[in-house]
Structure 1
């Protein structure tokens, strides 16, 4: 009997989607089960959506969240195993008639932030969330203790799993496409004419912040830190914070460029051109600093969270120790004591390494 790969919801891009991509490559005969599919990433594969996909709730994750723990239960399907990618409630999944030897493996990006660490997720601060959280935490803990085997994407998340659910997990760092990044020595050669002109217009030295434009990524810290250091900044990405970031850029005392939705080639070029890539978020793991390092950038990351676990201090970059933007600013002048690396990653965080670890964990 085949297995099933379980994921919360499937979007066009995202770190958890990259994990699911590798699951699909590892297990080419497995079905894919999700709440809804907004991307069509897997043509030719059986992708089963939940009942939520046929309702308006698929357009609002926040409104759909209270229903998710119940939608995952007693699913149809006769599978040997389930390999789950979970950052909300996908680990709750169960099947009506599982075989006696059914196994469930859960790769955890994080226990639901809005339940367990609301200080890191604004959804958890609303009155409705605060009211529902005690009940949902109890359900979440019980479901996690039903006998699954767990892997965490960082030691930071492993400790959070232990605290929230009282279960053990191994650590398997997520996949980063480092081989693709390191295959091109100078990513400027991959730019189109408009992108080449844009890069040529940038300052010779700048501080780079790149991620989704959402509050917890703290790209405003990058602008403030660059301003204090007296250096231009480039902010790249997209998201609901774009208007606010543009306002900050316009009022800054140093030049700040905001670039919307850069292509991969442009992003990797920015990594290579930047004085330093700054990643101030308290992140579960943080794929983008690894990408930046693979491209040859020096990085500054938060010592809190998973982003510092792979980094060798003084070799790959620096960690700021106090969780405030001024500490980021203090690090920027120190980056020159970190040698600018040749393109490549000091740690094996490749997609190939990830697939090998997952197959060994689940069993081929």
Structure 2
């Protein structure tokens, strides 16, 4: 009998599940880096607008759930939130050995093979059903608020239940890790998202003007910065666009100016030449403060959320602890006294903690840890099954005394 030639190991098939792909923002930039690690992975999502995606993502096969076939799905996808659990569970991922879910909307609830490895990278548990539920409901219209009130309890139950499905959960900050523990009852490791810190450079031409950079939407709290700088007379350059633009312009003094669009080279120069970045939002992580520090400039940041992890109070910036203009004005007074001792190189060194290479290393290490956990569980399950068989066999034998 001719011995059989051992077959080569089957290539590992990888699936990445992302909540929706309709723009290129922070979550999608992280997805690009995950794709760097797994260039042959297939991507699954609820709805996709291929015209909005980068070439990195377009190189992958992208599959959508049945949500994509519903009316106006590309723009009104969040209104289909109650259907997304069923859409995820309908995905057949049985061919995949490694499943990576990227969670900010529903993504982790997919069903995988028992021996498959499932890891979740969590940007945030869904804020509109958890810690920001009341704020979202109050900001919604009457019908939208009633709709959210009706669907949120069921979504919370499913969200917590489906959190048991991943083998390993990664959080993008300690702030998100604590929320995962509170809302999902799961432990999570922290893998900070990647920031392209190397593309920013210091400048010797620092101005007397601070910058505020982001979308002009309520939760970013640009109103605090505009009011504080208008009252104090300090110069502020607001860079961004959004529904609050005209209201903010009407309230701003002559010392506050606005720019809605910038080329990226202009934005890099704005970071590097600013007296400081003003960051008023409570973010899960917040890439903008890291970019400012990578350009060698300090940050005056709201002292809650991810900003407390990326900006070192008294070394690379100043924290303020209430989302009010008064608190920001007091922080700016402290900042003025502190600034002469600021070292730009300390800010650059701090920003380097969040470099792309560190994300790739730490993410790969967590996947390897998940693989070891699943392998150990498989060995344990096999041993227990063998022990059960031996016990059953012994019970069938005649007893001798």
Q: Report the TM-score when normalising by structure 2.
A: 0.80
2:43 maps to 32
Task: Encode CA deviations 1:19-70: one digit per residue, 9 max, x unaligned.
Answer: 1011000111111111122223223311112222233122113312222222
Residue 124 of structure 1 and its aligned partner are, at CA, apart by: 7.3
Q: 2:102 aligns with which of 74, 78, 85?
A: 85
* Change in 2 beyond 3 A, CA 1:351/1:11: farther
Tell me the distance in 1 between the aligned counterparts of 2:221 and 2:133.
14
Name 1:7's counterpart in structure 2. 18
Higher mean displacement: 123-132 or 291-300? 123-132
CA distance in 2, matches of 1:10, 1:325: 36
* Residue 350 to residue 204, structure 1, CA distance change in 2 (3 Å): closer
After superposing on structure 2, the runs of 4+ consecutive aligned residues of structure 1 that deviate more than 3 Å are 185-188
Give, in whole Å, the separation in 2 of the partners of 1:345 and 1:70.
45
Partner of 2:125: 111
Contact 1:207 1:226 in 2 (8 A): no
Q: 1:28 to 1:120 in 2, by over 3 A?
A: farther
Alignment counterpart, residue 57 of structure 1, candidates 70, 73, 87: 73
Q: TM-score, structure 1 length as denominator?
A: 0.88
SS at match of 1:67: helix
Deviations 1:138-162 (A, max 9, x none): 1111111234310111111111111
State whether residues 230 and 256 of structure 2, in contact with CA within 8 Å, keep that contact through their aligned partners in structure 1.
no
Equivalences for 1:161-310 in 2 at 5 Å? 161-182=180-201, 185-186=202-203, 204-248=207-251, 252-310=252-310
Number of aligned residues: 342
* Distance in 1 of aligned mates of 2:29 and 2:89: 25
C-alpha separation between the residues in 2 aligned to 1:213 and 1:121?
17
Which of the numbers 350, 354, 359 marks the counterpart of 2:359? Answer: 354
Change (3 A) 1:33 1:147: closer
Preserved CA contact (<8 Å) 1:211 1:237: yes
Residues 58-73 of structure 1 correspond to what in structure 2 (within 5 A)?
A: 58-73=74-89
CA distance in 2, matches of 1:105, 1:238: 35
- What is the CA deviation profile of residues 141-192 of structure 1, one whole-angstrom value per residue up to 9, with x for unaligned ones? 111123431011111111111110111101111111101224xx4499xxxx
State the match for 2:148 in structure 1.
129
Sort the Cα spacing of 1:18 and 1:187 in 2 relative to 1 into closer, same or farther, 3 A.
Answer: farther
Contact 2:47 2:77 in 1 (8 A): no
Q: What secondary structure, in the 3-state scheme, does the structure 1 residue paired with 2:289 have?
A: helix
Which residue of the partner structure matches residue 94 of structure 1?
A: 111
Decide which structure has the larger Cα Rg and report it: 2
Distance in 2 between residues matched to 1:356 and 1:187, nearest whole Å:
33
Structure 1 residue 123, shift from structure 2 partner: 5.3
Q: What is residue 193 of structure 1 aligned with on the other side?
A: none
1:86-130 Cα offsets, whole Å, 9 max, x none, are: 1021111224xx2x4111100111110000012585257622112
1:43 alignment partner, one of 55, 58, 68: 58
Distance verdict in 2 for CA 1:242–1:123, change over 3 Å: farther
